[in-house]
Structure 1
Amino acid sequence: MASKLKHIGIVSLLTVVSRVLGLVRDQLGAAIFGASELNSAFITAFSLPNLFRRLLGEGSLTAAFVPTLQDELHERGRPGAFMLLNQVTSWLALITGALVVFAMVLFSQSRLLPGHESRWYLAADLAVILFPYLAMICIAAALNATLNVFEHFTEPALSPIWLNLAMIATLGGAGWHLATTELGQMYWLCAGVLIGGFLQLSVPAGVLVKMGWRPRFDFGLAPRVREIGALMAPGLFGTAIYQINVFVSRLFAFSIDEASATLLFYANRLMELPIGVFAIAVATVVYPLIARHATERNFAGMADDYRKGLRLILMINVPAAAGLALLSEPIVRLIYQHGEFTATDTRAMGPLLALFSVGMPFFSISSLTTRAFYALKDTVTPVKIGALSFVINVGLSWALKDWLGAPGLVLASTAAVIVQTIVMQRLLARAVPGLGFGELWRTIGKIVAATAAMSLVVFAGWAALRYAFAGNRTVDLIAIGGLIPVGVAVYAAVLWAVRVEGREEISAILARFRGKFGG
């Protein structure tokens, strides 16, 4: 595991860059469009190709592809791995291409169904433009998964950066200066999505070509291609449940009013920042490692690395969740309240971010737990648990949306992910006893104690700042620039004082961060 820390540091660093660029992108969108019907329509439309991207690209395919590719690489080396990659990408191109054409034709006929509010037709129109992104990003996901198996983590971590840069350039550049209407600016933003998708596809393809890959169409059905299909079948259903879960929540929000879908999306994006920076980075690096352990039937090594991964995730995301909840209002106001995004939008979005943060540690754990099941080539169990999560989320969303509005949708999704994480971890520990929390409970107790100390300091500081600088924007700058570093220092001091397990690994990652930033 120690040798993998540099990869976690690199992925985390690049993810920080990506998330910062993502915030810039969101800031531009919020400043230009606000929480408007047009912005909510774009978010809803973009959710459609992203739904299928997660299903066919980064979801069940990657989960089935990585351990199978590990087996192929182990037995036949790179030539066999590249042959398998050609077969997988060929089928992906065929399936996603057909899906894109079908979706574009379908949504272009939306006005044949009269009687709906204008925002629904607008979302359909934007979906027609955005759907080609699906094919590019699904193939890119297979290429990035291959690079991860070859332990090339930098290029896959760059993937979302290309998308964010393209969207910033088209919206903040051409869209802002060349378009004369808001709809024209939105078309430029959609163009940025397609340009970003092309970059996400072409960059990892170029790296693999330099490594010896020769892309070609190959629709052969080798045994391992059929194995991937067999693994994908239940996995696709399980991933579909989760992604449809997310999509249904956005549809519920879109149906409430013209602003809720935008506010829910931005709050979720802020919640995903610490998850993406560290939890997903850990899971991305640990997954090929535990998949190799599983292939070699080294369950002791798999359990050891799995627990270390969980510990790293919890040490970062538990305090991050508390910080987001306590400082949700100044964070939203400082980042988003510009241009068309008003103080009313800030007051509505702050509680959503605080509620989202409650589920953040559970979501972080489930990202690694799911990969542990996939490493064991068990794609059925996550399906069953995902079905339970889906029922909880949809049932609670339907019951709470009219009563509580958007906060009710966040409560529903949070309850669903908490139940999903607890049940999934219990079943994983039952399948492989070494994968239980075990000694991690002692570490969790120390993390909670340190988080409580940090939260007390941050809460008291924020209360004092609001009293001293009532109505002054300076309070937000001081809260973000001052209270967060102070809170981190308190948290770290308490963790080191109680001699938390794994502190050497955190020190190594931080040292690599300092080295990267210091040149």
Structure 2
Amino acid sequence: MAGKKVIKSSIIVMVLIILGKVLALVRDALIAAQFGVTYVTDIYNFALGMVYLLTTVSYGLTTTFIPLHTENLQNSTKRASNRFVNNVINLYSIFTIIVMVLLIVFSKYIIYVFGHGFGNDPNVFSAAVEINRIMMLSLIFVSLQSVVTGVLQSHKEFYEPAAMAMVSNIVYVIYLVFLTNKFGIKGFAIATVVGFFIQFLINVPKYKRLGYRYERIVDLKDKQILSMFKLMVPVIISTSVVQLNAFVNRSFATNIFFGAVTVLDCANKINTLAYEVFAIGIAMIVYPTLSELAAKEDKIEYKKALGKSISTIMLIMVPAAVAIAVMRVPLITVIFKRGAFGSEAVDLTASALLFYAPAMIAYGVRDILNKAFYSIKDTKTPMINSFIGIIMNIIINIIIMKYMKVSGLTLATTISAVVTTILMALDLNKKLKGIELKKMWNSFLKILLSSGIMGITLFFVNKMVMLKVGTVDEMVGSLISLIISFVLGSITYCICLYFVKVEEFKYLIDNIRSKIA
């Protein structure tokens, strides 16, 4: 019964995540249609990037809070657990409010330093400062939700946290459809703050039903608080690399041309779609298993679980990256091409997306490697690796941006992601005295071969469909091409996996057969 409950919960959580992603695509399509590739969307994306960059602190808090609170639930009284939760809420809220006020007050200088391209036009600069100040108000709701969702996950309540993206995207879609013409980008910035508030709000009823009540307590001397804050620092740095790289890229993009930040952001949204739905979920599931095996010092089973996890990630991410690279134009056309987002914007975004695609694979594998290091209580190695990645990204940006423009920024991200992931794998291999790298490499080559054949199939299918239908109606042709390509590409990929005998695929097929039987 327990197994069935886990499967049911996993399916519901996955459905909620996918619904959130579908609504996110609708939101992005509406943003593109309403604002296009202009300085207006650049300003909004820059400010949102600032918020996401700072939410890495909240992610670090949640990551370190969950095991500490789980321990409290097992070993302490309900009152002691409630006291710890409220102490975290109060201390973190005070910290967030101070940071938020400073960021609002010094917004002019933040824009000048990190978005100096906006300073070329006084009106653009003024608008950037105003939008940034509005968006910073989101931080207080982000901080509150990070603790409340941590509490819920400690109690194995996942539905509300999984639904957060869905409910906030509903708010954004409603605004973009009905209110954009009246209130513009400033109103959308306010709607974004409301969206973050709603994300926090939907978690509160379940939080209260679990028996938690607010208390005014601020105790900096609490040993658990001190332990949590010490653990947070390396976790924040090591898990923030994606947002930090995105922020660095946005900063560089403000100097290329108006709309470059939006092109970069659109490419990133498409590229991280499969990564955020599947890779993050797999990493979340495998983390407790690795932690348990590490605690038992069962090195053989630990390495097997790690190897299977990485191979499973590659089984999904490699074909997804190939498919996105090949089908980038119809994908961008269907999602974004409408209103102010025209053919030139599609071409620019497609070029950037082509060089972005391999990064998806690296990010997925690196998530598993990060969890592996955390499970053996090594938080320093991922942190150092993150520093290497960011520095490498900046250096490559400086070298190739003037030659490749936005595509150079995405290529730099991919190179730094691939190199740092390889370094992480080698470090873990050394630390654990072997993690079956040869076996993983063989699986990768088989998956890459299968994905390559699938990619060739997609290329010709897309070409034929666009010649027959796309010349009459590009949008309809792109949509039909995506549907047919998805079906034929999936069949081709699975057939190839079967013939090259990928172990993880065979394991999946055997499981499906046993379920049917």
Aligned to 2:96: 96
Q: Given residue 218 of structure 1, which amino acid in structure 2 is its aligned partner?
A: I
Question: For residues 371 and 318 of structure 1, what CA distance do their matches in structure 2 show?
Answer: 20
Change in CA separation of 1:331 and 1:111 when aligned onto 2, cut-off 3 Å? closer
Aligned to 1:191: 190
Question: For residues 490 and 211 of structure 1, what CA distance do their matches in structure 2 show?
Answer: 48
Query: 1:95-134, aligned counterparts within 5 Å?
Result: 95-107=95-107, 116-117=120-121, 118-134=123-139
Q: Given residue 163 of structure 1, which amino acid in structure 2 is its aligned partner?
A: S
Change in CA separation of 1:112 and 1:400 when aligned onto 2, cut-off 3 Å? closer
Shift of 1:53: 0.8
Question: For residues 301 and 260 of structure 2, what CA distance do their matches in structure 1 show?
Answer: 46
- What secondary structure sits across from 2:503 in the alignment? coil
Question: For residues 302 and 154 of structure 2, what CA distance do their matches in structure 1 show?
Answer: 16
Aligned to 1:207: 206
Query: 1:136-215, aligned counterparts within 5 Å?
Result: 136-176=141-181, 179=182, 184-215=183-214
Question: For residues 169 and 289 of structure 1, what CA distance do their matches in structure 2 show?
Answer: 41
Query: 1:366-445, aligned counterparts within 5 Å?
Result: 366-433=366-433, 435-437=435-437, 439-445=439-445
- What secondary structure sits across from 1:486 in the alignment? helix
Q: CA RMSD in A?
A: 2.8
Aligned to 2:38: 36
Contact 2:83 2:215 in 1 (8 A): no
- What secondary structure sits across from 1:219 in the alignment? coil
Contact 1:67 1:288 in 2 (8 A): no
Aligned to 2:16: 14
Shift of 1:433: 4.2
Q: Deviations over 1:143-186 (max 9, x none)?
A: 2233333322222111111221111112222334xx0xxxx221
Q: Which moved more, 1:476-485 or 1:446-455?
A: 446-455
Question: For residues 464 and 293 of structure 1, what CA distance do their matches in structure 2 show?
Answer: 51
- The alignment of Structure 1 onto Structure 2 pairs a total of residues equal to 504
Question: For residues 41 and 511 of structure 2, what CA distance do their matches in structure 1 show?
Answer: 38
Aligned to 1:57: 58
Q: Deviations over 1:298-346 (max 9, x none)?
A: 5555444433332322211111110000010111112111011111111
**Do residues 263 (structure 1) and 263 (structure 2) align?**
yes
- What secondary structure sits across from 1:405 in the alignment? helix
Aligned to 2:49: 47
Shift of 1:367: 1.7
Contact 1:426 1:436 in 2 (8 A): no
Q: Given residue 49 of structure 2, which amino acid in structure 1 is its aligned partner?
A: S
Q: Given residue 448 of structure 2, which amino acid in structure 1 is its aligned partner?
A: V
Q: Given residue 92 of structure 2, which amino acid in structure 1 is its aligned partner?
A: L
Question: For residues 110 and 297 of structure 1, what CA distance do their matches in structure 2 show?
Answer: 48
Q: Deviations over 1:167-219 (max 9, x none)?
A: 1112222334xx0xxxx221221122111111211222321221222233432
- What secondary structure sits across from 2:152 in the alignment? helix
Contact 1:282 1:313 in 2 (8 A): yes
Change in CA separation of 1:149 and 1:295 when aligned onto 2, cut-off 3 Å? farther
Contact 1:110 1:121 in 2 (8 A): no
Change in CA separation of 1:354 and 1:78 when aligned onto 2, cut-off 3 Å? farther
Change in CA separation of 1:481 and 1:241 when aligned onto 2, cut-off 3 Å? closer
Question: For residues 328 and 357 of structure 2, what CA distance do their matches in structure 1 show?
Answer: 9
**Do residues 488 (structure 1) and 490 (structure 2) align?**
yes
- What secondary structure sits across from 1:151 in the alignment? coil
Change in CA separation of 1:375 and 1:225 when aligned onto 2, cut-off 3 Å? farther
Aligned to 2:279: 279
Aligned to 1:233: 233
Q: Which moved more, 1:136-145 or 1:346-355?
A: 136-145
Q: Deviations over 1:229-260 (max 9, x none)?
A: 11123333445665333211111112211111
- What secondary structure sits across from 2:279 in the alignment? helix
Aligned to 1:462: 462
Contact 2:34 2:180 in 1 (8 A): no
Contact 1:49 1:134 in 2 (8 A): yes
Question: For residues 294 and 349 of structure 1, what CA distance do their matches in structure 2 show?
Answer: 43
Contact 2:470 2:478 in 1 (8 A): no
Contact 1:21 1:165 in 2 (8 A): yes
Question: For residues 319 and 254 of structure 2, what CA distance do their matches in structure 1 show?
Answer: 31
- What secondary structure sits across from 2:157 in the alignment? coil
Contact 2:450 2:496 in 1 (8 A): yes
Q: Given residue 496 of structure 2, which amino acid in structure 1 is its aligned partner?
A: V
Question: For residues 112 and 235 of structure 2, what CA distance do their matches in structure 1 show?
Answer: 35
Change in CA separation of 1:144 and 1:305 when aligned onto 2, cut-off 3 Å? farther
Shift of 1:109: 7.8
Contact 1:166 1:192 in 2 (8 A): yes
Q: Which moved more, 1:299-308 or 1:457-466?
A: 299-308
Question: For residues 329 and 347 of structure 1, what CA distance do their matches in structure 2 show?
Answer: 7
Q: Given residue 145 of structure 2, which amino acid in structure 1 is its aligned partner?
A: A
Question: For residues 458 and 97 of structure 2, what CA distance do their matches in structure 1 show?
Answer: 51
Question: For residues 369 and 402 of structure 2, what CA distance do their matches in structure 1 show?
Answer: 34
- What secondary structure sits across from 2:37 in the alignment? coil
Shift of 1:499: 4.3
Q: Which moved more, 1:262-271 or 1:71-80?
A: 71-80
Q: Given residue 131 of structure 1, which amino acid in structure 2 is its aligned partner?
A: M
Contact 2:466 2:481 in 1 (8 A): no
Q: TM-score with structure 1 length normalisation?
A: 0.89
Change in CA separation of 1:5 and 1:491 when aligned onto 2, cut-off 3 Å? farther
Identity between Structure 1 and Structure 2 (%):
23
Contact 1:21 1:164 in 2 (8 A): yes
Q: Which moved more, 1:205-214 or 1:304-313?
A: 304-313
Contact 1:168 1:192 in 2 (8 A): no
Change in CA separation of 1:458 and 1:77 when aligned onto 2, cut-off 3 Å? farther
Q: Given residue 346 of structure 1, which amino acid in structure 2 is its aligned partner?
A: V
Aligned to 2:312: 312
Contact 2:385 2:420 in 1 (8 A): yes
Q: Which moved more, 1:390-399 or 1:152-161?
A: 152-161
Q: TM-score with structure 2 length normalisation?
A: 0.89
Q: Which moved more, 1:346-355 or 1:102-111?
A: 102-111
Question: For residues 77 and 430 of structure 2, what CA distance do their matches in structure 1 show?
Answer: 34
Q: Which moved more, 1:231-240 or 1:26-35?
A: 231-240
Change in CA separation of 1:498 and 1:111 when aligned onto 2, cut-off 3 Å? closer
Question: For residues 147 and 248 of structure 1, what CA distance do their matches in structure 2 show?
Answer: 33
